[in-house]
Amino acid sequence: MFNLSKYLKEIKDKEHKPKFGALDIIKYIGPGMLVTVGFIDPGNWAANLAAGSSYGYQLLWMVTLSTIMLIILQHNVAHLGIATGLCLSEAATKYTPKLISRSILSSAVLASVATSLAEILGGAIALNMLFNIPVRAGATMIVIFTSVMLLTNSYRMIEKWIIGFVSIIGISFIYELSLVHVDWGSAAIGWINPSIPHGSIIIVMSVLGAVVMPHNLFLHSEVIQSRQWQLHDEKVIKKQLDYEFVDTLFSMIVGWAINSAMILLAAATFYSIGKTVSELPQAQLLLVPLLGNKAGVVFALALFFSGIASSITSGMAGGSIFAGMFSEPFDIKDFHSRLGVTISLGLALINIFFVGDPFKGLIVSQVLLSMQLPFTIFLQVYLTSSEKVMGKYKNKNFNKFFLLLTGGIVTYLNIRLLLNLIFGY
Q: Is the pTM of this model over 0.85?
A: no
The SS3 of residue 257 is: helix
Q: How large a percentage of the chain has pLDDT more than 70?
A: 79
Rounded CA separation 386/149 (Å): 37
Rounded CA separation 255/77 (Å): 18
CATH number 1.20.1740.10 is the correct assignment for the domain at 4-423: yes
Mean pLDDT of 283-296: 71
Q: How large a percentage of the chain has pLDDT more than 90?
A: 21
Question: How many other CB atoms are found less than 10 A from the CB of residue 353?
Answer: 10
Instruction: Summarize pLDDT for 337-377 with one digit per residue, the tens.
Output: 999 999 999 999 988 887 766 666 666 666 677 678 889 99
User: ∠ CA 260-50-180 to the nearest 5 degrees?
Assistant: 55
Backbone Cα Rg of the chain:
20
Q: Is 258's pLDDT higher than 70?
A: yes
Among 380, 421, 341, smallest CA distance to 146 is for 341
Mean pLDDT of 51-67: 89
CB 241 within 8 A of CB 234: no
CB 69 within 8 A of CB 198: no
Sign of the torsion angle spanned by Cα atoms 401, 407, 409, 411:
negative
- Domain range annotation of the chain: 4-423
Rounded CA separation 306/300 (Å): 10
CB 316 within 8 A of CB 397: no
Mean pLDDT of 297-301: 86
CB 170 within 8 A of CB 385: no
pLDDT at 266: 87
Angle, helix 358-384 to helix 397-423, in steps of 10 degrees: 150
Mean pLDDT of 399-409: 88
Rounded CA separation 114/129 (Å): 23
Q: Is 11's pLDDT higher than 50?
A: no
CB 280 within 8 A of CB 42: yes
Rounded CA separation 247/34 (Å): 11
